[in-house]
Amino acid sequence: MRYQGKEKVMKKERFNVKDALVIGGVAGIVSGFVKLGWEVLLPPRTPERELTNPPQKFMQQLGIPHKVTHATYTYSGHEMPWASFIIHFGFSATFGMFYSVAGHYLPIIKTGHGTLFGAGVWAVTHVALMPKMGTVPAAKEQPLEEHVSEALGHMAWMWVNHVVIEELKNEESQK
């Protein structure tokens, strides 16, 4: 922005969609790690429901066999569900990219630094869409702890997306 007389003149910057997608994808990976950490502190599902987690169930609904959806790698004695991680990080990166681009054209979605958008993503996916698809139980049949963990976790997740996107955009604009 520059000043001409007493008036502010906005410098029209060209929006680079490719850069916004890359930045959003990076933010989505970072925020995906944060969401995994959140779920360690506040597990959203009971151990029984975690035997087949929502990403695994979704893949099975798409016809992917159990041996793939439940495939793991071992790290430090823990069996880690790599197929679930692909869905988890794919979801996170996709929403990071969407938020990065859509936030430019519809700045209202950035209200609350991503927290309200995150709450909306939770409501649409965990309360409406996944129960309708049969991926998770109906919202009223999910424990309160699941709603608390997922709602707050999605808000924190999108806040991290927002912060990382804004920081990377600022760094890019300094070049």
Residue 8 lies in a domain: no
Residue 56 lies in a domain: yes
Summarised one tens digit per residue, pLDDT across range 103-160 is 999 999 999 999 999 999 999 999 999 999 999 999 999 999 999 999 999 999 999 9
List C-alpha distances in Å: 106 to 7, 40, 138: 26, 33, 31
Identify the domain containing residue 33 by its residue range: 15-174
Residue 9 lies in a domain: no
User: Cα angle vertex 18, ends 14, 22, to 5°?
Assistant: 125
Q: What percent of the chain has pLDDT over 70?
A: 93
Residue 47 lies in a domain: yes
- What confidence tier does 29 reach under pLDDT thresholds 50, 70, 90? very high
Instruction: Please tell me the total count of domains within the chain.
Output: 1
Structure tokens at 164: 């990382």
Give residue 14's pLDDT: 84
Residue 6 lies in a domain: no
List C-alpha distances in Å: 58 to 7, 69, 129, 153: 55, 9, 12, 20
Give residue 174's pLDDT: 84
Residue 10 lies in a domain: no
* This prediction's pTM: 0.89
Residue 5 lies in a domain: no
Helix (H/G/I), strand (E/B), else coil: 37: helix
Average confidence (pLDDT) over 29-39: 98
Give residue 175's pLDDT: 78
Give residue 5's pLDDT: 52
Residue 118 lies in a domain: yes
Summarised one tens digit per residue, pLDDT across range 48-69 is 999 999 999 999 999 999 999 9
